[in-house]
Amino acid sequence: LRMSAADPIDYLIKPRFIASVIMTTVLIIWSAAVAFGTGMITAYAMFDVNPQTFSSLALVDRVDLGTGLTKCIAYGAAIPIVSGHAGLSTHGGSQGVGAATTRAVVNSSLAVIMLNLLISGASFMMFG
């Protein structure tokens, strides 16, 4: 890409960044809906909990929803940035690609864990 005067960031990282932020948000919303539905079915079938009781939103606050949305956007942004950095700094042929892949997975996982800690801590300190 550099030989053809194309910026690797514009060509490789930006599209993956945008797609990751959008699709991580969609995936988390879909997963939450599926988890809520299956939890309600399980609670009704196994413990005879009324679905209206299960779906009561009395204890769900806007802060909880905002924190969750902030987390999914942060995760969706961190993963392609960390992985893109590992991929663009690859050298050493196929062995270097394997090492860069491992580095990308490990560092992305650590980034998500650290972001979870920071966002949860900030949310707790600001909103209780």
The list of the chain residues with pLDDT below 70 reads 1-2
pLDDT reported for residue 71: 97
- Report CA Rg, the chain: 20
pLDDT reported for residue 28: 94
Q: Can you spell out the DSSP letters for 17-50?
A: HHHHHHHHHHHHHHHHHHHHHHHHHHHHHHH---
pLDDT reported for residue 6: 84
Global pTM reads: 0.84
pLDDT reported for residue 22: 97
Distance CA(115)–CA(77), nearest Å, equals 11
pLDDT reported for residue 104: 97
